[in-house]
Amino acid sequence: MSHLIMAIPVALLAAVAGVAILAVQAIYNVYISPFACIPGPKMYALTSWRLAYDDWCGARTRNLYKLHKKYGPAVRVGPKEVSFSSLAALRTIYGAGTGFERTSFYRMFEVYGRKNMFTFGPGRDHAARKKMVANAYAKSSMLRGDIATLIEDKARQYVELIEASENRTSEIFASLHYFSLDSITQFLYGKSGATACLTGSHIDCALINDIVDKARRRLSWFSVHMPDYISAVYAQTGLLGALAERFLYPMQKPTTYTGIRDYAMRTCENFAVEAASKTISEIEREPSVIAKLWKHHITQKKEGGLDNADIAAECADHLLAGIDTTSDTLMFVIWLLSRPENRKYQDKIIAEVKTIGAEDLNEYGIPRADACDKLEYVAAVIKETLRLFPPLPGSEPRLSRSTTTIDGYVVPANTTVSISPFVLQRNPEVFKDPFKFNPDRWVNPEENIVEMNRWYWAFSSGGRMCIGMHLAMAEMTTLLASVYRKYSTVPADGFDKISPGITSRYEILYDDSCEAMREHECRIQFQLQGSA
């Protein structure tokens, strides 16, 4: 009995000590920490799980926008995390040659356990890998030659797919994913490695099934906030594996991009077999990205160049990056132009693409990629869409290994800092009516277009700027010119007040002004011009 009596005070003391430690830590985080001078809600300063809760609710980006409106260009959103929304911070954090690295957040984008250009932390590693493939992504390569022909051919196939659909009504979330998947696979792997979704391959079309699964948002959340949990749960086998699958999986297998990753690995293995019988000069003549990487594999083999797994991982990452980004943007473009209140903008696009002369059409009547690149209003519509609906709207975290001053605040080493395109591109002091779709703002001489361009950040900036920007723009301008040269578009019956929604990591991006939202669904009717 005496031992029991003695145990009570000991347990009580342990509990009191634990509470005291938490209290001291809380007081330090909120009032004493070097970050205490940076404005923001105290709950965010107290624990990183407050921001994680926003992520779980899919509200991070919209809440960051509200926080910046209330607290200004610098907001403390974690014990050691700060969100910024100024041009000065943009230059400091993301400018070329800065010392900021990508954080462990990006590990969830690693493929086959290998780092790639997107996930490398140090800038020097990223730059070395980028140098190997940069020529393949040059704008000149997109607008003429094999790649231009590729893009025009996929645009032709998409128009034929529209024509074959019942009443020319299409669910364009899926069909535009087919377009982007077929385009990026041929660009990366060549004709022998291209998918054939647009021409009816059911096996290839099925590759987007795990992209459509809405549970991918939960998987992304756990991958960022509880990566060890993800590794442990999906590694279980036997009885434990069955129990984990039944009760613990955030997303049932196949998980996001599983099929596409498998396809990428098989395609890379097939290329290796074919390349073994080719000379370096034969490989050099191929325009595909995998050929560029394979050349490095051969010429730098003795110096520890890329091995097969490195090449497979790099190509797979480019493949994953080139699907959703292009297709989601095109979906929002067509949906926005189809809304009745935006008909005047659609009319302007139709008028512009009609100016393309016969000399700038290919043998199938599809506008050539280099001619589409000169369409000013088409580019303005794409730009305005990307301003409102950037495919990756959320924070782009970075880490500095040394103490830095940003926006007048001293930011200690190893602090996570970030900027969100969604927040940056909705600055009301730069963009009038920032939530309104208005492509005219990009061509109106009365607007401060120079200033708007400084705040436009859909493709990031600096050394980490999106390497596929020119490919994406060529795909989008050519497809839109091909579609609106022949059709006008309206929402399908019952979809005039419904916003489509896309999955972006762990949140959904959609138009808040609409009465309803359908994730991964957008139905559009294509009407032959002059017949509606």
First to last CA, the chain: 91
Lowest mean pLDDT among 43-47, 129-133, 202-206: 129-133
Q: What confidence score (pLDDT) does residue 249 get?
A: 95
Query: Which residues make Cβ contacts (< 8 Å) with residue 282, sequence separation at least 6?
Result: none
Lowest mean pLDDT among 156-165, 211-220, 449-458: 211-220
Chain segment 355-378, per-residue pLDDT in tens: 999 999 999 999 999 999 999 999
Chain segment 317-333, per-residue pLDDT in tens: 999 899 999 999 999 99
Is 419 a member of any domain?
Answer: no
Q: Is 445 helix (H, G, I), strand (E, B) or coil?
A: coil
Highest mean pLDDT, choosing among 300-314, 357-371, 517-531: 357-371
Judged on CB neighbours under 10 Å (0-12, 13-18, 19+), 191 is: exposed
As a whole-number percent, the residues of the chain with pLDDT over 70 amount to: 97
DSSP letters for 342-376? GHHHHHHHHHHHTT--GGGB-TTSPBPHHHHTT-H
Chain CA centroid to CA 218, Å: 17
Is 483 a member of any domain?
Answer: yes
Is 39 a member of any domain?
Answer: no
Is 297 a member of any domain?
Answer: yes
Q: Is 489 helix (H, G, I), strand (E, B) or coil?
A: strand
Which whole number is the average pLDDT over 252-272? 92
Q: Which domain holds residue 281?
A: 129-213+256-390+425-528
Tokens of 62: 């919209």
Q: What confidence score (pLDDT) does residue 276 get?
A: 84
DSSP letters for 87-149? HHHHHHHHSTT-SEEE-GGGGGG-BTTB--TTT-SSHHHHHHHHHHHGGGG-HHHHHSSHHHH
Q: What confidence score (pLDDT) does residue 145 get?
A: 92
Q: Is the predicted pLDDT of residue 510 greater than 60, yes or no?
A: yes
Q: CB of 343 within 8 A of CB of 118?
A: no
Burial 17-43 (b: 16+ CB within 10 A, else e): eeeeeeeeeeeebbeebebeebebeee
Q: Is the predicted pLDDT of residue 204 greater than 90, yes or no?
A: yes
Q: What is the CATH number of the domain that holds 151?
A: 1.10.630.10
Is 153 a member of any domain?
Answer: yes
Q: What confidence score (pLDDT) does residue 297 get?
A: 73
Q: How many domains does the chain have?
A: 1
Q: Is the predicted pLDDT of residue 304 greater than 70, yes or no?
A: no
Is 251 a member of any domain?
Answer: no
Whether the model clears a pTM of 0.85, i.e. scores above it, the answer is: yes
Q: What confidence score (pLDDT) does residue 301 get?
A: 59
Q: What confidence score (pLDDT) does residue 266 get?
A: 93
Number of H helices, E strands in the chain: 25, 13
How many Å apart are CA 382 and CA 384, to the nearest integer?
6
Which whole number is the average pLDDT over 224-233? 94
Chain segment 62-108, per-residue pLDDT in tens: 999 999 999 999 999 999 999 999 999 999 999 877 888 888 888 88
Q: Which residue has the tokens 């970030």?
A: 418
Q: What is the DSSP letter of 249?
A: -
Q: Is the predicted pLDDT of residue 494 greater than 90, yes or no?
A: no
How many Å apart are CA 259 and CA 247, to the nearest integer?
23
Average pLDDT, rounded, for the chain: 92
Is 167 a member of any domain?
Answer: yes
Q: What confidence score (pLDDT) does residue 485 get?
A: 96
How many Å apart are CA 142 and CA 151, to the nearest integer?
8
Lowest mean pLDDT among 69-78, 226-235, 523-532: 523-532
Q: How confident is the model at residue 135 (pLDDT cuts 50, 70, 90)?
A: confident
Which whole number is the average pLDDT over 402-411? 94
Strand partners, 418: 83
Is 49 a member of any domain?
Answer: no
